[in-house]
């Protein structure tokens, strides 16, 4: 009823919610090279069912069929008639095709009551009326805003189809379900070394893939699958998918002053050096875009306007072969209004030619694309780091002693650039790197007494 308060985020729990279930597989082969060294090669596999997944129940029912045509197909025809799907101007600036050039779409003709209806009578047909009145929502690929506007149009025959439609009862209606699924597969090689001339260590390399339906932790809220009517559209790399991982840890007891007596013996003997080196391929990243009222949220109509929820698997898709790579480059000035921002005076960019790279992406379009790539569609910048601990045990008596330790993080003071913002609709910032991963070198001193 009019005047009633609107529920902002009505979230419910699926009454059929089930605990997560996994099937795990493993195979390892171990070989002792010598009395001090062993090597292990193995496979790890996991199949995941009943994974936590959020859905917006108020999403656009894009499979609705009128006049022998689905809404998804009709929207795709509008978008391609106005914007096209070429490899330039990827939805950032659509072509200035006039609405009158849009072919008639049976879905809109039926849904809006035909050419004599109040919404269409001033135009040659309902398709042209929609293309004229909703051009901004069409070019933004803002499907949720587009559908909501049609809900309020004179002549709309489907009636009230969303809780957010007038009169609004809630801005979104989410459910927490256990319908997600995924898998993890990895190969690893591990080398272990034990007390070889005072050195003990372990080295491990893992090559793996984590795929699934854009899993989130259960503490998250107000998220939704890209297509609540087809969860497979969410399938792709998970947010924790890292292709290559390597780590190398050593524990070295310095032997040079072992057994030395007197003050020098106490001061120099017993020092331990323990470095830890880690390296990995880039974390997942994606090119995104704004749809007007929100960013990366309503390509398939999955989020209720004005974007009170967010999608977990909506990204720009590839329009051409990707040539950008994933390395940091200094002194990139950008061109054609792409990557030209001066927010980073050193001009560090993920691409040497950001203008060429942005043309390799386009918006994800309902009725054309069946998926927007999963949680991520590409790799960010690789990273590595070296930490170390330097420690020594002092014995004053049989019962009393102390341990001195120096904890070094980022020993080499290595600058690790962070992944850039990759947004089609803010091209001046495209590829620009303005931050770093981790901190500059730090040292922490510790003293522990025991008695």
Backbone angles phi, psi at 365, to 5 degrees: -115, 125
For the stretch 219-245, pLDDT in tens is 788 889 999 999 999 999 999 999 999
Mean pLDDT of the chain: 88
- Spatial distance between the Cα atoms of 405 and 377, rounded to a whole number of angstroms: 43
pLDDT digits (tens, 9 = 90+) for 323-355: 998 999 999 999 999 999 887 778 899 999 999
Q: What is the DSSP letter of 6?
A: P
Residue pLDDT, tens place only, 428-451 = 999 999 999 888 999 998 888 888
Instruction: Give the pLDDT confidence score for residue 87 in this predicted structure.
Output: 46
pLDDT at 216 over 60: yes
Q: What was the pLDDT predicted at 258?
A: 65
Closest CA to 329 of 346, 312, 317, 314: 346
pLDDT(32) > 60:
yes
pLDDT digits (tens, 9 = 90+) for 381-406: 999 999 999 988 777 777 888 888 89
C-beta of residue 281 within 8 angstroms of C-beta of residue 382 = yes
Rounded to the nearest 10°, the torsion over CA 426, 429, 433, 437 is: -30
Residue 267 confidence (pLDDT) above 70:
no
Report the alpha-carbon distance of residue 170 to residue 164 in Å, rounded.
Answer: 6
Task: Report whether 210 contacts 237 (CB < 8 A).
Answer: yes
Of 182-186, 222-226, 265-269, which one has max mean pLDDT? Answer: 182-186
- Give CA–CA dist 139/125, Å, rounded: 20
| Average pLDDT rounded to a whole number, residues 272-283 | 94
11 token code pair: 């979230």
DSSP letter for each residue of 117-145: STTTTTSSSHHHHHHHHTHHHHHTT-HHH
- What are the φ/ψ torsions at residue 314 (nearest 5 degrees)? -115, 120
Domain assignments of the chain as residue spans, ordered by start:
65-151
Express each pLDDT in 120-133 by its tens digit.
999 999 999 999 99
Q: Kindly report, residue by residue over 287-323, the tens digit of the pLDDT.
A: 999 888 788 889 999 987 766 678 889 999 999 999 9
Question: What's the CA gap between 245 and 280, in Å, rounded?
Answer: 4
pLDDT tens digits, one per residue of 191-212: 999 988 888 999 999 999 999 9
Residue 196: the pLDDT is 86
SS3 193: strand
* Rounded (to 5) percent helix, strand, coil in the chain: 15, 35, 50
Average pLDDT over residues 60-68: 95
Q: What is the pLDDT of residue 88?
A: 43
Per-residue confidence (pLDDT) for residue 3, from 0 to 100: 57
Instruction: Give the list of residues 6+ apart from residue 258 with CB closer than 8 angstroms, or none.
Output: 269
What is residue 1's predicted lDDT score, i.e. its pLDDT?
Answer: 47
- DSSP string spanning 29-54? EEEE-SSSEEEEEEEEEEEEEEEEEE
pLDDT at site 311: 86
Measured distance CA(361)–CA(378) in Å, rounded: 12
Assigned token pair, 87: 């490899």
Q: What's the pLDDT score for residue 162?
A: 73
Secondary structure class of 232 (helix, strand, coil): helix
Query: Is the pLDDT at 263 greater than 60, yes or no?
Result: no
* pLDDT value at 92 more than 60: no
């Amino acid at each position: 009823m009019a005047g009633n308060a609107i529920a902002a985020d009505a979230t419910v729990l699926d009454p059929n919610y089930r605990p997560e279930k996994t099937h795990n597989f493993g195979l390892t082969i171990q070989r002792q090279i010598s009395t001090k060294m062993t090597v292990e090669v193995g496979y790890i596999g996991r199949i995941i069912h009943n994974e936590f997944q959020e859905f917006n129940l108020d999403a656009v029912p894009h499979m609705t069929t009128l006049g022998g045509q689905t809404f998804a197909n009709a929207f795709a025809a509008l978008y391609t008639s106005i914007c096209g799907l070429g490899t330039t101007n990827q939805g950032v600036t659509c072509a200035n095709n006039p609405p009158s050039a849009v072919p008639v779409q049976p879905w809109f003709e039926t849904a809006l009551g035909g050419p004599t209806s109040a919404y269409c009578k001033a135009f040659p047909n309902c398709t042209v009326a929609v293309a004229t009145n909703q051009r901004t929502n069409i070019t933004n690929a803002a499907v949720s805003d587009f559908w909501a506007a049609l809900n309020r149009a004179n002549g709309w025959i489907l009636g009230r189809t969303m809780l957010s439609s007038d009169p609004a009862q809630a801005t979104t209606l989410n459910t927490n379900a256990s319908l997600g699924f995924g898998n993890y597969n990895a190969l690893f090689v591990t080398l272990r070394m034990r007390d070889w001339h005072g050195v003990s260590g372990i080295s491990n390399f893992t090559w793996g893939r984590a795929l699934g339906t854009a899993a989130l932790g259960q503490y998250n809220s107000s998220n939704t699958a890209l297509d609540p009517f087809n969860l497979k559209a969410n399938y792709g790399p998970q947010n924790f998918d890292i292709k290559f991982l390597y780590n190398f840890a050593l524990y070295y007891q310095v032997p040079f002053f072992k057994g030395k007596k007197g003050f020098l013996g106490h001061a120099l003997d017993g020092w331990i050096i323990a470095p830890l080196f880690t390296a990995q391929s880039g974390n997942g990243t994606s090119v995104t875009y704004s749809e007007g009222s929100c960013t990366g949220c309503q390509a398939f109509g999955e989020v209720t306007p004005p974007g009170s929820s967010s999608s977990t698997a909506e990204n720009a898709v590839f329009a051409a072969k990707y040539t950008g790579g994933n390395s940091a480059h200094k002194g990139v000035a950008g061109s054609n209004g792409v990557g030209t921002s001066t927010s980073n005076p050193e001009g560090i960019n993920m691409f040497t030619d950001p203008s060429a790279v942005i043309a390799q992406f386009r918006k994800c379009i309902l009725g054309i694309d069946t998926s927007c790539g999963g949680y991520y569609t590409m790799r960010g910048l690789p990273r590595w780091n070296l930490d170390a601990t330097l420690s020594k045990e002092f014995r004053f008596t049989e019962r009393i002693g102390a341990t001195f330790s120096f904890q070094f993080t980022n020993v080499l003071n290595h600058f690790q650039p962070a992944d850039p913002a990759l947004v089609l609709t803010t091209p001046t910032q495209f590829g620009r790197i303005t931050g770093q991963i981790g901190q500059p070198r730090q040292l922490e001193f510790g003293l522990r007494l025991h008695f």
